[in-house]
Amino acid sequence: MQWLRKDLLGLEELSREEIEFILQTAESFKEVTTREIKKVPALRGKTVVNLFYEPSTRTRVSFEIAAKRLSADVINIAAESSSVRKGETLIDTGRNIEALKIDIIVMRNNYSGAAAMLARHVKASVVNAGDGWHEHPTQALLDIFTLKEKLGGIEGLNVSIVGDIAHSRVARSNIWGLVKLGAKVTVCAPKILIPPAIEEMGARVTHDIDEALKKSDAVNVLRMQFERDEQNAFPKQLEYFKTYGITKERLSKAKKGIIVMHPGPINRGIEIASDVADGENSVILEQVTNGIAIRMAVLFLVSQANENIKHEDTD
Amino acid sequence: MCSLMKEKAKILDKDAVTRTLMRIAHEILEKNKGTEQLCLIGIRNRGAYLAKRLAQCIEKIEGEPVAVGILDITLYRDDLTLASSSPVVHKTEIDFDIEDKNVVLVDDVLYTGRTVRSAMDALMDLGRPKSIQLAVLVDRGHRELPIRADFAGKNIPTAQNETVEVRLEETDGKDEVVIVEKG
């Protein structure tokens, strides 16, 4: 198969084959990250801009390392310090970035669909690093990559996603990706944190955490985003930990060998107990490591596809 | 594209491929005075299989195993920004240290020399070998870089509109080398 998209905007529009192709390419890049010289010249002469309208350290740093290991030049723009403050629109920002001869824009934005809109207006590749509540494709890809590495495959797996599903782009991207690859996905949260129509994406809903864990090969624990609780309607932290927190005791009743994932940053004692986060079921830090391989693969593939598009245009 | 290709001549058949590899194995051993510090690294895709076969030949001759690795050079290609079809990135599999080793790079066809240039860059990023030598099954000429083979199975003068196809049991179901003409 050949990768033809100049952008990576989400997993919803990707086919199973495309997702598997990214995962396969990432395996090759993971080997690069184990070398003494962790760098290849594949994107030499290319420039990547990290355009972040929301605070992020781990995703931005992960993209930055990925780009540098491909020998690309990287520029970071944080919205706080940019002309967004002066009222420039996203499309104008994109066009200005393009006028600087940038090849790839990695963007995080608080509006759902922002990455897709930018991608339509610029010739540069756009990689979505999280748009509102919509998608965070590279996070889901690294979660799936880690799962596949641990359990050998995705087909037929039972995966639970626990926590604030309603506000989570990580959950949405994970559901799209996992369902396409043949996993059974269960989402588990208090009613107020389950969005409407989530079943239409192919996920099963439960409010019983112990029931979810009993059947799951893996559980993806989401951070409780209390900062989004404008109406003060979320369960309180301690209450949430009691009813949904992943503890040693809960894990002892779960399926044997269950894998515990978390996209970070973790809130110890709120959605996950400390001894679980650091325990033998946890692959949280491996996810971070795998994130670099996934992002190297994505940057490489969109860049290659865009080169081909440019050449077709000139032919 | 395949329909426009015309098979022009068979250069090597199965037995000739086997004999050629055995001869190259002898030459490698002669030049390196045995298997000490020696390793073979095949360039994906067919070079990897040829390296494995050469290692078997060497073991048959010397009674000593020799380390074999596989190198993927996709990320080092100088035509990445030109490539009209996106190449698929595969894994490099070299599970030994190449530091101070005599590395024999193995590929099926030596043509422009650009693949070998990429392979040498990739190797240098993995360590500092004592020497790098080059073994190919076929040298078809038309070099664009100052690169030559230390061990060549067969020199085949070709025209630019011809290609040399090395077919191997492992990848194509049978061993043979043919010249094909682009129509």
Please name the member of A37, A41, A308 whose beta carbon is closest to the beta carbon of B86.
Answer: A308
Closest C-alpha among A153, A159, A239, A170 to residue A203? A159
Average pLDDT over residues B137-161: 95
Percent of chain B exceeding pLDDT 90 equals 86
CA distances A245 to A180, A236, A270, A304, Å, are 28, 12, 6, 43
Using CB atoms, pick whichever of A28, A36, A307 lies closest to residue B89.
Answer: A28
* Min Cα separation A280/chain B (Å): 28
Alpha carbon distance A172, A185 (integer Å) = 11
Contacts of A25 in chain B (CB under 8 A): 88-89
Q: Is A110 on the interface with B (CB under 8 A)?
A: no
Q: In what order do the strands lie in the sheet with A184-188?
A: A203-206, A184-188, A158-162, A218-221, A259-261
Cβ–Cβ contact A35 with B under 8 A = yes
ipTM of the complex: 0.81
Specify whether the CB–CB gap between A177 and A136 falls below 8 A.
Answer: no
Partner B contacted by A26 (CB < 8 A)? no
Under a CB-based contact definition with an 8 Å cutoff, are residues A178 and A152 in contact? no
Give residue A76's identity as a one-letter amino acid code.
N
B81 to A37: CB separation less than 8 angstroms, yes or no: no
Which region among A5-9, A105-109, B148-152, B161-165 has the lowest average model confidence (pLDDT)? Answer: B161-165
**Rounded Cα distance, A28 and B88, in Å:** 10
Global confidence as pTM: 0.91
Q: Which two tokens stand for residue B180?
A: 């094909």
pLDDT band for B20, please (50, 70, 90 cuts).
very high
Residue A40 sits at the chain B interface (C-beta within 8 Å): yes
Judge: B86–A28 Cβ closer than 8 Å, yes or no. no
**The token pair that represents A43 in the structure block:** 């994107």
pLDDT digits (tens, 9 = 90+) for B89-122: 999 999 999 999 999 999 999 999 999 999 999 9
- The C-alpha atoms of residue B12 and residue B50 are separated, in whole angstroms, by 15
Q: What is the pLDDT of residues A224-278, one digit of tens each?
A: 887 777 788 788 888 999 999 999 999 999 999 999 999 999 999 999 999 999 9
Residues of chain A contacting B90 with CB distance shorter than 8 Å: 28
Bond prior to A50 in cis (omega within 30° of 0): no
Contacts with A147 (C-beta within 8 Å, 6 or more apart), sequence order? A154, A157, A159, A218, A259, A261
pLDDT at residue A315 in the model: 62
Average pLDDT over residues A47-70: 95
Q: A39 contacts in B (CB within 8 Å)?
A: 125
Residue contact B89–A37, C-beta within 8 A:
no
Best of A5, A307, A313 to substitute, by most chain B Cβ atoms within 10 angstroms, is A307
